[in-house]
Amino acid sequence: MVVELTMRKYLVLLALVVVSSTLGATPVSAYQGASYFEPNKPYAQNFPDPSVVWDASTGRYYAFATTTGGVNVPAMWSTDLVTWTAAPGNGSTNANGQPHDALPLPDTSGIAVNRGGHFPYDLWAPGVAKVGATWVMFYALRIDNNGRRCLWYATSSAPMGPYTNATYFYCSDDPMGSIDPQPFVDTDGSAYLVWKDEGLIGGYGQRTWARRIMVGAPGAGAVSFLVGSSASLLFESDNSWEAYVAESPSVVRFNGELLLFYSGNS
Give pLDDT tens digits for 95-154. 889 999 999 999 999 999 876 656 678 899 999 999 999 999 999 999 998 899 999 999
| Overall average pLDDT of the 3-8 stretch | 36
Give 218's pLDDT tier (boundaries 50, 70, 90): low
Give 201's pLDDT tier (boundaries 50, 70, 90): confident
**The pLDDT of residue 10:** 36
Of the chain, the percentage scoring pLDDT greater than 70 comes to 84
Preceding amide of 162 cis, omega within 30: yes
**The pLDDT of residue 34:** 75
**The pLDDT of residue 12:** 34
Asked if residue 221 has pLDDT above 90, the reply is: no
Of 44, 49, 42, 86, nearest to 67 by C-alpha is 49
**The pLDDT of residue 248:** 95
**The pLDDT of residue 11:** 37
Give 35's pLDDT tier (boundaries 50, 70, 90): confident
Distant-in-sequence contacts of 216-220, Cβ < 8 A, 24+ apart? 218/132, 218/133, 218/134
**The pLDDT of residue 114:** 75
**The pLDDT of residue 169:** 97
Domain ranges of the chain: 2-264
| Overall average pLDDT of the 182-205 stretch | 94
| Overall average pLDDT of the 80-89 stretch | 97
**CATH classification of 2-264 is 2.115.10.20, yes or no?**
yes
Asked if residue 175 has pLDDT above 90, the reply is: yes
Give 167's pLDDT tier (boundaries 50, 70, 90): very high
| Overall average pLDDT of the 190-203 stretch | 93
Measured between alpha carbons, how far is 225 from 215 in angstroms, rounded to an integer?
9
Cβ neighbors of 80 (< 8 A, separation 6 or more) are none
Give 59's pLDDT tier (boundaries 50, 70, 90): very high
**The pLDDT of residue 14:** 38
